[in-house]
Amino acid sequence: MTPATAARVEDAAWLAETGESWDRAADRLGMSPETLEKLLYRTGNPDIWRRLRRNDWKVAA
């Protein structure tokens, strides 16, 4: 994993921990939600994607 990719994964994890939703996290990272999902799955971090998706339900509730 390149340093830039590792940084994006780390940033996504932080955003998930702070309650950011998947679409806002992608926007803050400068990518589409689909690209963020692919990045997290490709790097072996689907748990981060699932946490971001769960955060979306918290916002809607």
| pTM of the full structure | 0.87
pLDDT value of residue 56: 82
pLDDT value of residue 57: 74
For residue 22, give its domain range: 3-60
Buried b (16+ CB within 10 A) or exposed e, 17-28: eeebbbebbbee
In tens, the pLDDT along 2-61 reads 999 999 999 999 999 999 999 999 999 999 999 999 999 999 999 999 999 999 876 555
Interatomic CA distance for residues 31 and 6, integer angstroms = 15
pLDDT value of residue 61: 53
* CB neighbour list of residue 17: distance below 8 Å, 6 or more residues apart: 51
Number of domains within the chain: 1
